[in-house]
Amino acid sequence: MVGSSQVGAAPPTPRGLTTSIRDENTAMTTTSHPTVAFIGLGHMGGPMATNLVKAGFPVQVFDLVPAALEAAAAAGAKVAASAIEAVKGAQVVVSMLPASRHVEGLYLGDTGLLGAIEAGALVIDSSTIAPASARKVAQAAAARGLAMIDAPVSGGTAGAAAGTLTFIVGGEAEALERARPVLSAMGKNIFHMGGAGAGQVAKLCNNMALGVIMAATGEAIALGVAHGLDPAALSQMMAVSTSRSWATEVCNPWPGVLPNAPASRGYEGGFGNDLMLKDLGLAAEAALGTGASIPLGELARNLYSMNSQAGRGALDFSSVVNLVRKA
């Protein structure tokens, strides 16, 4: 696979991040892990930080929410009183925040975190944010001599808990190699998409296609049902035919077709409609910046916006089918 690598495939030794030390008295080799500062312990960041602790990294955490800090402490992380405290002595800084404004607010400005991060440390932002924002923060980091990558993730909360996330990376190849041991403790696949911001662009491309495919799949099943077809039989046929997709096979939007899909439990859990809406907004913003045409992406953004206004913002994004589904 061009530009990708499986985590298990013996990564090159990162410069200055993980060192093996042979103790001549015991003839044992121990591996010393760099200290990681982790900022943002929400649905994704909490379990990601826990996986770093489990992998043997000393982890210093900060979040604005006390309950998130308590959970991280119970998992073995060291709680800091502020983000600035958390980065003291850390060789790697990971952030997992909601949106662009939080990331820019954390790192930039006179009192921003970039001014407090130790010289030579590596910065990894895994939040899903605007590519322009990712570039802006990476440039500010570079101006201070700090390497930074954008590494948004795919795989949801289940992938975060299981340590099977896919990291979609933008930045220098050398910085990615340094980040690899840390990312490998939280994920299964790493894709290097290009320079700063490229990880964010690729993540938006994936989610825009997903949003369109989900809406289209729901609409197709609704048409079949309106003609008296059985939605499960229709989905089984589609799953092995030319319209097959994750939306049909894994997260089917029609209630009762797949017992484990959010649709079969009142659209609870899964990937929130409003998170999809956020990503489609970022895709629209990214398209405006380049003049790229995304007619279906824009249409999908409006559909998820309407679904949110209908009161389903917190439900799984497959609930968008309810715009066309007769109760």
Catalytic residues: 203
Of residues 228-287, which lie at the interface with ligand NAD (CB under 6 A)? 271, 275
DSSP structural state of residue 248: H
Q: Do the beta carbons of residue 36 and residue 60 sit within 8 Å?
A: yes
Residue 156 contacts ligand NAD per CB under 6 A: yes
Render the burial of 43-69: b for 16+ CB within 10 Å, e for the rest.
Answer: ebbbbbbbbbbebebbbbbbbeeeebb
DSSP structural state of residue 310: I
In residues, how long is the chain?
327
d(CA 184, CA 190): 8
Taking CB under 6 A as the criterion, the residue among 17, 36, 37, 39 binding ligand NAD is 39
Q: Do the beta carbons of residue 177 and residue 12 sit within 8 Å?
A: yes
Q: Among 38-46, 72-80, 300-308, 309-317, which window interacts with ligand NAD (CB under 6 A)?
A: 38-46
d(CA 105, CA 99): 10
Q: Among 5-13, 40-48, 190-198, 218-226, which window interacts with ligand NAD (CB under 6 A)?
A: 40-48
- The nearer residue to ligand NAD, 129 or 238, going by C-beta atoms, is 129
Instruction: Calculate ∠ Cα 139-140-141, nearest 5°.
Output: 90
Least distance (Å) between residue 262 CB and ligand NAD: 12
Non-local (6+) Cβ contacts of 309 within 8 A are: none
Of residues 180-199, which lie at the interface with ligand NAD (CB under 6 A)? none
Q: Among 2-10, 62-70, 175-183, 312-320, which window interacts with ligand NAD (CB under 6 A)?
A: 62-70
Least distance (Å) between residue 201 CB and ligand NAD: 15
Q: Among 92-100, 194-202, 250-258, 282-290, which window interacts with ligand NAD (CB under 6 A)?
A: 92-100
Q: Which long-range contacts (CB under 8 A, 24 or more apart) does 18-24 make?
A: 18/181
Least distance (Å) between residue 47 CB and ligand NAD: 9
Q: Among 14-22, 23-31, 35-43, 172-180, which window interacts with ligand NAD (CB under 6 A)?
A: 35-43
Non-local (6+) Cβ contacts of 131 within 8 A are: 150, 170, 197, 198, 200, 201, 204, 282, 286, 289
Of residues 71-90, which lie at the interface with ligand NAD (CB under 6 A)? 83
Taking CB under 6 A as the criterion, the residue among 61, 75, 97, 175 binding ligand NAD is 97
Taking CB under 6 A as the criterion, the residue among 11, 54, 78, 98 binding ligand NAD is 98
Render the burial of 151-182: b for 16+ CB within 10 Å, e for the rest.
Answer: bbbbbbeebbbebebbbbbbbbeebbbbbbbb
- The nearer residue to ligand NAD, 80 or 221, going by C-beta atoms, is 80
Taking CB under 6 A as the criterion, the residue among 35, 63, 137, 214 binding ligand NAD is 63
Taking CB under 6 A as the rule, which mask of x and - marks residues 106-125 in contact with ligand NAD?
Answer: x-------------------
Looking at the DSSP assignment, which residues form a beta bridge with residue 79? 61
Q: Which residues bind ligand NAD (CB under 6 A)?
A: 39-45, 62-65, 68, 83, 96-98, 102, 106, 127-128, 153, 156-157, 271, 275
